[in-house]
């Protein structure tokens, strides 16, 4: 029985998606236990399997993560005379796995309301299929949506988390710069941010890191001739 369940393709698939979601949180700078990320398939089945079913119980898979000290610093603006004690623009995140095959406005609104009522800073909803066009429209305007959480909401399709793209050897390392680091960079090269090459926030790696418009990432590549070199991109 048990081996039947763990062998099911659906179970293996969700196990991989779950692990990628946890890795993603760690790569963004949230606190994450090593053993949590390396959860084995049999343990996954034990925790989330349903008696007599091939699919795991997605409603039990949700988890939260708190930012590390380093992440809090990175997301805090440098103090100014006007704002001497700036608050970090990041907080505890909630990741949910939708059990509904089709996710539309209703599910997204319910998710947002859940985040607000449980006072999470932001949230990620992982959906079995692409969300509807209207839900996408709500998502785009969610920063002004009074019912949403402060840090906004992101959605991921399950299939996009099947593989952790940042682990691919051809994907260079992307590192987010803090506001202070960004200011130093622009000053050193006497640039305006608009003069930097760009990266779209919808780019898979940008989406993985949860980049916000206006942030700058440092991209570190390995090169046979130059060793390592860095370039910078401005998220739009």
Partner 1 sequence: MGPKSILKSPAVPSDAVDARKPPVNEQHLQVALQHANIIQDQKNVEQEILNATLELLEFPPDSKADPARPSPSDAHKFKTLVMPFQPNDYDALIEERNCADLCGYALCPRPRKKVPSASKLHFVDSRDRGVQIVPKKVLEVWCSDDCARRALYVKVQLNEEPAWMRRTGGGHEIEVLVENAETLEFALPLRLKSKKEVQQGELKDGDGEDIAAAWALADEALAELSQERGDKDSNIRTELIKAKIEERTNFKTPSAPSAETTASSAHMAIEGHIPRTDAKKTKDVDDDDDENDWDD
Nearer to partner 1, 103 or 161 (CB): 103
Question: CB under 8 A: which stretch of 24-32, 72-80, 96-104, 166-174 binds partner 1?
Answer: 96-104
Among 106, 167, 222, 228, binds partner 1 (CB under 8 A): 106
Q: Does 125 bind partner 1 (CB under 8 A)?
A: no
Residues 122 and 25: their CA atoms lie apart, in Å, by 12
Task: Describe the chain by its helix, strand, coil percentages, rounded to 5.
Answer: 40, 20, 40
Got the DSSP string for 128-194? Answer: SSPPPHHHHHHHHTTTT-TTS-TT-EEEEEGGGGSS-GGGSTTS-EEEEPPHHHHHHHHHHTT--GG
- Report whether 199 contacts 232 (CB < 8 A): no
- In terms of CB distance, is 78 or 141 closer to partner 1? 141
Closest contact distance (angstroms) between CB of 105 and partner 1 is 5
Residue 109: CB minimum distance to partner 1, A: 7
Binding mask 153-192 for partner 1 (x = CB under 8 A): ----------------------------------------
Cβ-in-10-Å burial (0-12, 13-18, 19+) of 136 comes to middle
Helix axes of 105-117 and 133-140: crossing angle, nearest 10 degrees: 30
Candidate segments 15-23, 85-93, 136-144, 160-168, binder of partner 1 by CB under 8 A: 136-144
CA distance 25 to 98: 18
Residue in 8, 31, 64, 132 binding partner 1, rule: CB under 8 A: 132
134 scored as a contact of partner 1 (CB under 8 A): yes
| Contact between 137 and partner 1 per CB under 8 A | yes
Under the binding rule (CB under 8 A), the answer on residue 204 touching partner 1 is no
Footprint of partner 1 on this chain (CB under 8 A)? Answer: 100, 102-107, 109, 132-135, 137-138, 141
């Amino acid at each position: 029985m048990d081996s039947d369940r763990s062998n099911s393709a659906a179970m293996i698939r969700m196990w991989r998606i779950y692990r990628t979601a946890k890795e993603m949180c760690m790569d963004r700078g949230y606190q994450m236990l090593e053993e949590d990320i390396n959860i084995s398939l049999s343990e996954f089945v034990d925790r989330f399997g349903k008696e007599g079913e091939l699919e795991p119980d997605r409603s039990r898979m949700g988890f939260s993560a708190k930012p590390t000290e380093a992440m809090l610093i990175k997301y805090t603006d440098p103090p100014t005379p006007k704002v001497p004690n700036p608050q970090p623009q990041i907080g505890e995140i909630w990741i949910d796995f939708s059990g509904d095959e089709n996710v539309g406005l209703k599910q997204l609104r319910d998710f947002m309301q859940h985040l607000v009522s449980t006072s999470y800073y932001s949230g990620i909803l992982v959906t079995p299929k692409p969300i509807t066009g209207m839900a996408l429209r709500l998502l785009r305007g969610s920063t002004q949506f009074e019912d949403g959480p402060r840090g906004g909401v992101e959605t991921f399709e399950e299939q996009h988390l099947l593989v952790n793209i940042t682990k691919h050897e051809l994907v260079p390392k992307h590192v987010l710069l803090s506001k202070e680091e960004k200011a130093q960079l622009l000053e050193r090269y006497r640039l305006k941010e608009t003069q930097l090459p760009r990266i779209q926030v919808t780019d898979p790696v940008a989406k993985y890191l949860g980049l916000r418009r206006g942030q700058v990432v440092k991209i570190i590549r390995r090169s046979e001739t130059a060793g390592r070199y860095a370039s910078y991109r401005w998220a739009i």
